[in-house]
Amino acid sequence: MSAHSDDAEQIPLEEVKNSKNGAANATTQDDDDASKSERIIYINDKARNAEEKFSRNNITTSKYTILTFLPINLFEQFRRVANAYFLFLLILQCIPQINALNPVSTAVPLVIVLGITAAKDGVDDYKRHQSDKKINNRNATVLQDGSFQTTKWRDVNVGDIVRIENNQHIPADILLLSTSEASMFCFIETADLDGETNLKVRQPLAATGKIGVNEGSYVNFTAKLRSELPNNQLNKYQGTLEYNGETYGIDNEKILLRGCILRNTNQIYGAVVFTGKDTKLMQNSGSPRFKRTRLDRVMNSLVFMIFVILCCFSLVGAILGGLWESRTGIYFRAFLPWETFTHNSASIGALLFLSYIILLNTLVPISLYVSVEIIRLGQSWTIDWDLKMYHEKTDTPAKARTTTLNEELGQIEYVFSDKTGTLTQNIMTFDRCSILGTVYGDPELSERSFSASKKVDFSANRYHTPKFEFSDQNLLQDCQIGVKPVHEFFRLLALCHTVMAEESDGELVYKAQSPDEAALVEAARNFGFVFAKRSSSMMILDCLGTKEQYELLCTLDFNNVRKRMSVIVRQGNEIILYCKGADTVIYERLDGSNPEIQRKTTDHLNSFAGEGLRTLCLAKKIIDPKFYTEWKMRHHAANTASVGRDQKLDAVYEEIEQNLTLIGATAIEDKLQDGVPETIANLSQANIKIWVLTGDKQETAINIGYSCRLLTENMDEVFIINGSNPESVKSSIENFQQRIADIKRQSQGENDVRTSHEDQVNVFGLVINGDSLAYALEEDMKFEFLKLASECNAIICCRVTPLQKALVVKLVKDNKNAVTLAIGDGANDVSMIKEAHIGIGISGQEGMQAVMSIHGRWDYMRMCKFLNYFFYKNFAFTLCHFWFGVFSGFSAQAIYDSWFVTLYNVVFTSLPVIGLAILEQDVNDKYSIRYPKMYVPGQQNILFNQKIFVVSLFQGVCTSLALFFIPYLAFYAGAIDYNGITLDNLQFLGTVIAFTLVIVVNLQIALYTKYWNIIMHVFIWVSTISFIVYAFLFYSYVFFSLSASQFSYVRIHFQVFSSPYAWFVTAVAVVFILTPSVLREYFSTTIRPSLTERIRWQQVKHGDIDDGSLHSATVKRRRSTHSGFAFSQEPGISNVVCQDNTNSRSTPVPV
């Protein structure tokens, strides 16, 4: 049998030189022309490869160096409009002629923001430097100066011959030349590339594979490789190798990619094809993206709007100020002369415009951005410290690696998830079985009772594996007493597979490409039917201590069409076919001799499938030797056919796999992460669409889809797109769109005549493989594909590459006004995690991901309350300056003490709003999960949008009017305190307004607060009385003596706090301002409460709920008619593990 894989991509004939001298006679000009579309590599010839200037093998993901950090980082920060604006404002404040405020009020917060951001960027980049250094300094063994020497990965070059040991990472994309195995194959793990932990098999060319581990032969080894150019296609490679005068086609089965790990193979030798950024792993790695939340974008637009409002107020103030100077101020020039640099009222108006920009700059305060950074940091700590997201077994807490995306977790509409390690643990366990109508391991169906909590003791079997568990003692007893059907059941499991067996440290170890097969062979082993050894023509079992030797005559391979595999073995004079596969294909080929057994087994299969288990049917057949001899000739003819080989083999297999006798069925559990079905149900009720993007095969992905209840039997239809060309994919998309329209039309008609008030809701699923997805993502088809996918509630994309994952996320992100989240556990998920609005990396064992969405809902609600309150309090605070301008000739005179302006957002109002934005909870986590519909407001931007922003500004304007005019009118008539001192001076008025403002805004946030705790009490009441402490310090003689110009409000606090009239005015203003807010709060919580408010009152009334109700969404457990079958091996694998002797370097040792 040829070593060349029939599934590999064929090399075009014009690129292959068939004559021995073809390569030698090729001219240099031919090479130059070819190099435009291909890469020519001279293996083991450093000098010639150096001329090509291929990429180095080091990788760089960092952004800065020590010298470039400060200038580049500052440049990037000042590219942000907000930072540039505040720098401009600081420059203006340094001009004394136009400044009414202390420049420190802007300088200190700006330096803090720039410093914190620079420090964070520096730490992140340092970590990238460390990661790059660690990877680039890994050791590699390279042929240099006539021997294999240890060097660093960064020094590996294209064309080098490398040696890789077992369990080592592949340092670059290499062409496999030879292995240490007699059969010339090696196993690799590709989890970092495609997410699959199943081992893949690779095999070199027979011509180079015969070199084996003879390192001396590589010293003078030379060859010329014509390779394709670097690209991101993980599953395809095309090239030709010219070696010893012959030309050989090279396909993907002979290439090992960077990111793979060598497994179960002592060592291999290979030639480097692609290095560094040219490797397929790096070609699939997306570039880093700076992610901004939806609220960030809204906030930026609103800040711009506020800046426009600021300019409008400043322009109005400047115009009115200029008019006042020209009409009224001219009479005061005798004792209020104009500055020497002003010549007329117009120039004064221009200066007033800049002065008002400075005076009213707190409408867009830099403290907003400082507060947001602090709040997000605090919110990320609440995620890090959440014990419900702590995985005790691995001591792994949740870790928010970015502080900028917390609230966006509360607005997610699309979740893109990897499967292996994310939805599943990729741990297969033999859970139960049915043997000739008798079920084992199912306490509900078993005819004999057993304790499900008591595990079977396998210690009497010296081959048992401690991790294997089974709960039904009856199966082991039937094995031990010699029940023949049970023996035949496990004998089939021990023979019908492609697993390899070897001894390691005295222990029998299995090398399995498929975890399903490994689970079945391990089950047979623990029940006493031990697969001990295989060669290309022989298999040896240890059956309950007795050696049994079988001649392996033929392996009938598995593929997605056949959905089964068979082995034909001979023991003595008896030829037996053992077959395992999906129930549908096995039942079609049974002899029908025992319908009662078939009926019982069908019931058992339905029960197993209803529990989400992956099932296989087992059958056998005794073959007449004469028939087998004739069939073998037909098989040989089909196997050597040059045209239509696969179809002819399928026909020959079909011929012999008939009239089978049913033995039983197996049920394997692909263990899901904890709480996955319940979490998916909760997310669905929260209006979140789930896409599973996996590198697994279609059937495996579909099985998991049903197991985790992503796909259900309640769906109207599950569409599968399996097109092999653009036309078929487009046709499928159009047909399915029409089918959905027809179903909806039919359902609408039924709803029209339905007497019930509950209308039928249509639910669809979609499954598409990687090849079809490649066509569906093309420019002329991607929008139709997205339209179809948008009609479906669950989408599974299987056999997809890392880049395809990112492209799918990008398609949804760019064309849907929705927040996307990507979650994965491997390097193959990095691209989609980078592309999504939010990326979550998990260590593979955490469950309870719904808790993350609870934090997101809380953080979104908190941030909305924060923004609503922040804009309100700053408008209320700032516009008092403008109203005072009406009575001060619009001179841009501040109504407050300049230090109060500086400390307003830092001291008097910062703690309550930060506490609210970090600690606030409308309802607790348990009620949040019980009622997923509360998540919907975040998706629809209900809690903060332009309408709410306008209402907030209107409330702030009204508050500022009341804050200014109530005290102003109260003191206007020349009020006098009990000491006979007048109360109509600027300092007295400004202090009363400031004191009233602090009380109002802190009581206002008390009205916003739903979750009261000791921290919020301290923050609110301490902030309220902090003004009194401030007044006694900053208005004292001590501070006045330090700087009379800076602390001019000397002893004004005694006059204010000792005046009953001032306290009365303050109380009246507070009540007047807060009354509408109290009434609005009463109306929104009592008269017309929202869903959240109704649930909050339910929590107040009924108290907490049990943790057992955490996953409250109902997950319907109906018996499924979908029967997932447990196969995930690569088609053609038996050709490698069961190959003819002609493909190995030496004849297998007889056994």
Question: How large is the average pLDDT for residues 62-90?
Answer: 84
Quickly state the pLDDT bin for 1134 (edges 50, 70, 90): low
Question: How large is the average pLDDT for residues 375-394?
Answer: 81
| Residue with the larger pLDDT of the pair 633 and 15 | 633
**Torsion region of 421: left, alpha or beta (phi above 0 gives left; psi -120 to 50 gives alpha):** left
Question: How large is the average pLDDT for residues 260-274?
Answer: 91
> Is 32 a residue whose pLDDT tops 90?
no
- For the chain, helix (H) and strand (E) counts, in that order, are 40, 31
Quick one: pLDDT at residue 547?
93
Q: 1115: closest CA among 612, 460, 549, 481? A: 612
Quickly state the pLDDT bin for 335 (edges 50, 70, 90): low
| Residue with the larger pLDDT of the pair 627 and 672 | 627
3-class SS letters over 97-112: CCCCCCCHHHHHHHHH
Question: How large is the average pLDDT for residues 755-779?
Answer: 79
> Is 652 a residue whose pLDDT tops 90?
yes
Quick one: pLDDT at residue 584?
84
Quickly state the pLDDT bin for 837 (edges 50, 70, 90): confident
> Is 1096 a residue whose pLDDT tops 80?
yes
Quickly state the pLDDT bin for 511 (edges 50, 70, 90): confident
Quick one: pLDDT at residue 65?
86
| H/E segment holding residue 991 | helix 986-1008
Quickly state the pLDDT bin for 1109 (edges 50, 70, 90): very low
DSSP code for 982: B
Quickly state the pLDDT bin for 839 (edges 50, 70, 90): confident
Q: 144: closest CA among 197, 219, 60? A: 219
Quick one: pLDDT at residue 847?
38
d(CA 878, CA 881): 6
| Residue with the larger pLDDT of the pair 31 and 929 | 929
| 566-625 residue pLDDT tens | 999 999 889 999 999 988 899 999 998 889 999 999 999 888 877 768 889 999 999 999
> Is 278 a residue whose pLDDT tops 70?
yes
| Dihedral in degrees, nearest 10, Cα atoms 267, 269, 274, 277 | 30
Lowest mean pLDDT, pick from 439-453, 769-783, 1056-1070, 1131-1145: 1131-1145
Quick one: pLDDT at residue 35?
47
Quickly state the pLDDT bin for 634 (edges 50, 70, 90): very high
Quick one: pLDDT at residue 16?
29
d(CA 1040, CA 767): 76
Q: Which of 160, 192, 194, 418 is catalytic?
A: 418
Q: Would you tell me how many other CB atoms lie within 10 Å of the CB of residue 833?
A: 21
Question: How large is the average pLDDT for residues 1017-1046?
Answer: 88
> Is 766 a residue whose pLDDT tops 90?
yes
Question: How large is the average pLDDT for residues 864-889?
Answer: 92
| 858-869 residue pLDDT tens | 888 999 999 999
With a CB cutoff of 8 Å and minimum separation 6, the contacts of 857 are: 409, 410, 928, 934, 935, 938
Question: How large is the average pLDDT for residues 132-144?
Answer: 92
Beta bridge partners of 1097: none
In the predicted model, what is the mean pLDDT of the chain? 82
| 148-189 residue pLDDT tens | 999 999 999 999 999 999 889 999 999 999 998 877 888 888
Quick one: pLDDT at residue 334?
66
Lowest mean pLDDT, pick from 216-225, 470-479, 636-645, 1004-1013: 636-645
Quickly state the pLDDT bin for 833 (edges 50, 70, 90): confident
Token digits of residue 399:
């870790």
Lowest mean pLDDT, pick from 298-307, 492-501, 1065-1074: 298-307
> Is 288 a residue whose pLDDT tops 70?
no
Burial class (CB within 10 angstroms; exposed 0-12, middle 13-18, buried 19+) of 92: middle
In percent, the amount of the chain with pLDDT more than 90 equals 35
Quick one: pLDDT at residue 446?
85
Q: What is the pTM of this model?
A: 0.70
> Is 1084 a residue whose pLDDT tops 80?
yes
Lowest mean pLDDT, pick from 22-26, 54-58, 295-299, 780-784: 22-26
Quick one: pLDDT at residue 850?
47
Quick one: pLDDT at residue 1143?
42
Quick one: pLDDT at residue 760?
59
* 3-class DSSP assignment, residue 594: coil
Active site residue 251: no
d(CA 233, CA 802): 10
Amino acid at 1051: R
First to last CA, the chain: 22
Quick one: pLDDT at residue 29?
43
Quickly state the pLDDT bin for 354 (edges 50, 70, 90): confident
- Contact (CB, 8 A) for 88 and 58: no
| 97-111 residue pLDDT tens | 776 666 776 777 788
Chain-centroid distance, C-alpha 1020: 38
Quickly state the pLDDT bin for 931 (edges 50, 70, 90): confident
> Is 555 a residue whose pLDDT tops 50?
yes
* 3-class DSSP assignment, residue 429: strand
Q: Would you tell me how many other CB atoms lie within 10 Å of the CB of residue 298?
A: 17
- Contact (CB, 8 A) for 100 and 897: no
Quickly state the pLDDT bin for 627 (edges 50, 70, 90): very high
> Is 736 a residue whose pLDDT tops 90?
yes
Question: How large is the average pLDDT for residues 131-149?
Answer: 91
Quickly state the pLDDT bin for 916 (edges 50, 70, 90): very high
> Is 488 a residue whose pLDDT tops 90?
yes
